[in-house]
């Protein structure tokens, strides 16, 4: 069995195009294409992945196919994105999509599950936004999968 990897690129990170979460999506799809994405992580899920692809007007199947067939670097992937017919990469679309990702809040139950998985008790000083909660969840999973 090949080794699997917890994706550690944050949803809050962007590449040169300026689209946050796109580098994480590329990493997850790339890992899945090689059978190396940690179980429990979808390559293209219903959350941020779908939000970003929809905002950019990109077809999830086409993204999967391109990455699986070409195994591009992130910069090659961005170059491909820019060349897709109907892609929306204007400043307003990117800023709006980024704001949607940054502003997304997990439901209280999901937040509690993530904090519990991290071994943390509810504390009002802990993050409420999904980007930071997902980071915490990734770090805890990385610790369980790799460091323990």
Our CA angle for 5, 7, 13, nearest 5°, is 155
Our CA angle for 48, 66, 63, nearest 5°, is 20
Residue ranges per structural domain of the chain: 7-104, 106-148
Model pTM above 0.85: yes
The answer to whether residues 117 and 35 touch, using CB atoms and an 8 Å cutoff, is: no
Q: Which residue has the tokens 């991290």?
A: 118
What is the residue-level pLDDT of the chain in tens, covering all 148 positions? 479 999 999 999 999 999 999 999 999 999 999 999 999 999 999 999 999 999 999 999 999 999 999 999 999 999 999 999 999 999 999 999 999 999 999 999 999 999 999 999 998 899 999 999 999 999 999 999 999 8
Our CA angle for 90, 94, 95, nearest 5°, is 115
- What residues does 5 pair with on adjacent strands? 37
The sign one gets for the Cα dihedral 112, 23, 52, 103 is: positive
Q: How far apart are CA 53 and CA 16, in angstroms?
A: 17
Neighbours of 61 (CB within 10 A): 9
Q: Give 146's contacts (C-beta < 8 A, 6+ positions apart).
A: 6
């Amino acid at each position: 069995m090949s080794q699997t990897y917890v994706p550690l690129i944050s949803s809050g990170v962007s590449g040169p195009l300026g689209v946050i979460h796109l580098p994480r999506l590329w990493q997850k799809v790339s890992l899945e294409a090689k059978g190396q994405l940690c179980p429990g992580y979808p390559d293209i899920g219903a959350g941020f992945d779908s939000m970003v692809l929809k905002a950019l007007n990109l077809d999830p199947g086409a993204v999967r196919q391109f990455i699986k067939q070409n195994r591009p670097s992130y910069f090659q992937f961005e170059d491909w994105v820019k060349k897709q017919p109907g892609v929306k990469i204007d400043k307003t679309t990117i800023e709006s999509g980024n704001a949607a990702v940054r502003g997304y809040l997990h439901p209280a139950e999901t937040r509690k599950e993530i904090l519990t998985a991290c071994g943390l008790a509810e504390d009002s000083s802990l993050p409420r936004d999904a980007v930071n909660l997902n980071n915490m969840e990734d770090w805890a999973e990385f610790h369980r999968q790799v460091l323990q």
